[in-house]
Structure 1
Amino acid sequence: MEIYMVGGAVRDALLGLPVQDHDWVVVGATPETLVAQGYLPVGKDFPVFLHPDTREEYALARTERKTARGYRGFVVHAEPDVTLEQDLARRDLTINSIAAPARSETASAVFDPDFSALIDPFGGQQDIRDKVLRHVTDAFREDPVRILRLARFAARFPDFSVAPETMALMQDMVEGGEVDALVPERVWQELARGLMETKPSRMLEVLRESGALQKLLPEVARLWGVPQRADYHPEVDTGVHLTMVMDMSARLQAGLAVRFSCLCHDLGKGTTPADILPRHINHEERSAFLLKDVCERLRVPVECREMADVVAREHGNIHRSEDFSAAAVVRLLERCDAFRKPQRFADVLLACECDARGRLGLEDSPYPQRTRLLEALAAAQAVQTQPLALNAQAAGQDGRKIGEVIHQARVKAVQDARPGVAGAS
């Protein structure tokens, strides 16, 4: 029985990055062998075991054979006769197909990889030096999830290029309909991980060049070629603006819900066919309409979809809020549900800041709307609503009137906190 560290752990170690998770492969063993040594079986689709001490995962070397379209149509062969090179050959990218033999005195002890004796049959080390993302073998085409994974790696390692032959292979896969067989949960999983990488715009660029973006997120793909407003640098189209917004969200270390909101905030500007959505409604309403379909199709988590809806509908108003009266500000806070969900509102403002600063020449500009609206919210929150409600009830007023009394008190609080701002309008 031989044990090797493989995959991302070896790659990150060679890149000088922190190794978060150790991936191990076992050659020449059976499930019974590992169980006898104290390993705990946990794999469902193929034999994976937890180390008795470290609880790290150890997988038996395996091969995979394609049997149907999509990423689930595989037959796995995991027997003692499977070699290390066969196991490495089934992996996606050369940089993930390098192995380091493990050293240990006993089979069940903690293993220590030997980086002086790397096994690299597909040239992964050279591709790391050349900063290239390249598929290992033509078996790459058997799993369409690998297109998403490669795009995610491009976002993680933005200085890596995609090998021309790999891009051509992905384009062929898309044209062959492989991407159409992906299930929503897996698409969202990879998309969400890519959004959280160092340069999420690279993921969009790779998916777009491969044709996968047009299949998976046509609403986003339609943004390219649509000019920005004249006062927003017309030489930069809306798709390019989106990539700048996404990278600003990474620069400001935004969370996933904010980054997803940034991704979808301008969907309504795309060249959507008129039979899908009329052109006469404003782009914010169009964005919210299209967002709903995206979220249902990809089964986006509730937190992300709710925040994205607020950003899509209100980002234009938030940008213009410096000119709002106190009454208009309070109405904006109410529409954003800021009184019940103040932290979400703060994140909505962060998404809007990403949008505002995701433009040529404005990357380092301040976004005073964020500070002013948070201050307005704090002033309005300071209003003691319970005494107002009790007094209104004592005067025989109904719920609608009580709400109006509270609204007016909040308007006055915002006006008092912002001298010179008009009260009602």
Structure 2
Amino acid sequence: LARRDLTVNAIAKDSDGQLTDPYGGLADLKAGILRHVSPAFVEDPVRILRVARFAARFGFRIADETLALMRNMVENGEINALVPERAWQELARGLMEQTPSRMLLALRECGALARILPEVERLFGVPQPQRWHPEIDCGIHTLLGLDYAAMQGYALPVRFSVLLHDLGKGTTPKEEWPRHIAHELRSATLVKPLCGRLRAPKDCRELALVVARFHCLPHRAYELRPETLLKLLLDTDALRQPQRFEQFLQACTADYCGRTGYENRLFHHADYLRAALNAAAGIDAGAVARQAGDNPLTIRDKVQEARLEALIRWHAGALRPNS
């Protein structure tokens, strides 16, 4: 038991059902405290992530002495020894907890977030226009969106995408604050190396890139012309990957609702874009292709023309709520 990481994990039961609790784990469990067992805690830097994940799972407080030890591990560079696969495993599990923001806050408190996800750390303290973001702080917005995604039970790729969707705002020059012009492009540029560094799986990586690059457009869905709607569907590969497009819309919903006072609002724009996809996908592509002849380029162009015509007809009668 002395080699266990936390006191709450260092409780044993013998064959007679008697508990052995040499480090006060039961008391810490009752008090909601995460406390390390011994100095051996420092031997494995992944324990920093585990403690942060447990904070997200149970809502427990990290003991002052354990937090100090975690800070020392970060400052001494021991966090740099994390194996990417193990780091990803713990981060992914933490993102799937009920309140993943607690994991991020715990990692911030000990300084580990700046080492593991410096792109996310840079978001904190960066302001946004209060008119659109009552919470103002970009980092807080990310945490709110992440917890909303968890509350809705969204899958890991969606939650990971919400975590990374605004990375570009962390690189906006201070003289341009609180505006963040073209942050989507900068976000997508940052997502690629981050995913490579963590060795994130393909589904998480690809969705995160799409969300980072295009998450602002759904917020303006009612303003988009049929031509722009079709381009969005093509750029997000919605026609070939409708399930991923649904995850894209979920991430955008979390972005919308992850704002102070917006938690219980409905993001009607997502339904609007679902209807647009149905209209574009509803054409008889086979019939169009047969009429177009044997030239693949001609077939592609004719199919896109048919999709655009379908969107124009749909757009003319589509309802656009005010919210």
Shorter-chain TM range is over 0.9
* Counterpart AA for 1:102: S
Residue pair 2:157, 2:207 contacting (<8 A) in 1 also: yes
Find the counterpart in structure 2 of residue 182 from structure 1: 82
Specify the SS of the correspondent of 2:280: helix
Find the counterpart in structure 1 of residue 195 from structure 2: 295
Is 1:95 matched with 2:8?
yes
Candidates 23, 41, 49, aligned match of 1:140? 41
**Deviation string, structure 1 residues 91-129 (Cα, Å, up to 9, x no partner):** 1111111111125xxxxxxxxxx2xx2110101111111
**Quick one: structure 1 residues 273 and 227, their matched pair in 2 at CA, closer, same or farther if it must change by over 3 Å?**
closer
Find the counterpart in structure 1 of residue 306 from structure 2: 409
Displacement after TM superposition at 1:420 (Å)? 4.3
Map 1:74-223 onto structure 2 (within 5 A). 88-103=1-16, 114=17, 117-158=18-59, 160-223=60-123
How far, CA to CA, are the matches of 1:118 and 1:415 in structure 2? 70
How far, CA to CA, are the matches of 1:318 and 1:144 in structure 2? 40
Specify the SS of the correspondent of 2:14: strand
How far, CA to CA, are the matches of 2:119 and 2:173 in structure 1? 11
* Counterpart AA for 2:2: A
How far, CA to CA, are the matches of 1:372 and 1:411 in structure 2? 16
* Counterpart AA for 1:393: G
Query: What TM-score do you get using the length of structure 1 for normalisation?
Result: 0.71
Higher strand share: 1
Specify the SS of the correspondent of 2:97: coil
* Counterpart AA for 2:81: A
Find the counterpart in structure 1 of residue 321 from structure 2: none
How far, CA to CA, are the matches of 1:406 and 1:319 in structure 2? 27
Specify the SS of the correspondent of 2:316: coil
Residue pair 2:134, 2:260 contacting (<8 A) in 1 also: no
**Deviation string, structure 1 residues 199-252 (Cα, Å, up to 9, x no partner):** 000000000111111001100100001002232235530001111011001001
Displacement after TM superposition at 1:378 (Å)? 1.3
Q: How many residues align structurally? A: 315
**Quick one: structure 1 residues 272 and 316, their matched pair in 2 at CA, closer, same or farther if it must change by over 3 Å?**
closer
* Counterpart AA for 2:143: T
**Quick one: structure 1 residues 415 and 102, their matched pair in 2 at CA, closer, same or farther if it must change by over 3 Å?**
farther
**Quick one: structure 1 residues 281 and 403, their matched pair in 2 at CA, closer, same or farther if it must change by over 3 Å?**
farther
How far, CA to CA, are the matches of 2:73 and 2:289 in structure 1? 63
How far, CA to CA, are the matches of 1:272 and 1:166 in structure 2? 35
How far, CA to CA, are the matches of 2:134 and 2:151 in structure 1? 24
How far, CA to CA, are the matches of 1:326 and 1:230 in structure 2? 31
Find the counterpart in structure 2 of residue 339 from structure 1: 239
My pick for the range that moved more, 408-417 or 311-320, is 408-417
How far, CA to CA, are the matches of 1:379 and 1:333 in structure 2? 11
Displacement after TM superposition at 1:282 (Å)? 1.2
Residue pair 2:108, 2:114 contacting (<8 A) in 1 also: yes
* Counterpart AA for 2:311: V
How far, CA to CA, are the matches of 1:170 and 1:177 in structure 2? 11
* Counterpart AA for 1:408: E
Residue pair 1:219, 1:272 contacting (<8 A) in 2 also: no
Displacement after TM superposition at 1:404 (Å)? 2.4
Query: What TM-score do you get using the length of structure 2 for normalisation?
Result: 0.93
How far, CA to CA, are the matches of 2:99 and 2:119 in structure 1? 21
Map 1:274-285 onto structure 2 (within 5 A). 282-285=182-185
Residue pair 1:171, 1:210 contacting (<8 A) in 2 also: yes
Specify the SS of the correspondent of 1:197: coil
My pick for the range that moved more, 319-328 or 213-222, is 319-328
Residue pair 2:94, 2:100 contacting (<8 A) in 1 also: yes
Is 1:306 matched with 2:203?
no
Is 1:262 matched with 2:262?
no
Higher relative contact order (CA 8 A, sep 6+): 2
- For structure 2, the 5+ residue unaligned runs are 319-323
Residue pair 1:223, 1:270 contacting (<8 A) in 2 also: yes
Displacement after TM superposition at 1:381 (Å)? 1.1
Is 1:353 matched with 2:268?
no
How far, CA to CA, are the matches of 1:234 and 1:271 in structure 2? 21
Find the counterpart in structure 1 of residue 285 from structure 2: 385
Map 1:228-243 onto structure 2 (within 5 A). 228-233=128-133, 235-243=135-143
**Deviation string, structure 1 residues 370-390 (Cα, Å, up to 9, x no partner):** 111111111211101111112
Residue pair 1:226, 1:271 contacting (<8 A) in 2 also: no
Residue pair 1:265, 1:312 contacting (<8 A) in 2 also: yes
Identity rate, percent: 52
Residue pair 1:227, 1:234 contacting (<8 A) in 2 also: no
The higher radius of gyration belongs to: 1
- For structure 1, the 5+ residue unaligned runs are 1-87, 104-113
Displacement after TM superposition at 1:408 (Å)? 2.1
Higher helix share: 2
What value does the CA root-mean-square deviation take over the aligned residues? 1.9
Map 1:363-402 onto structure 2 (within 5 A). 363-393=263-293, 398-402=295-299
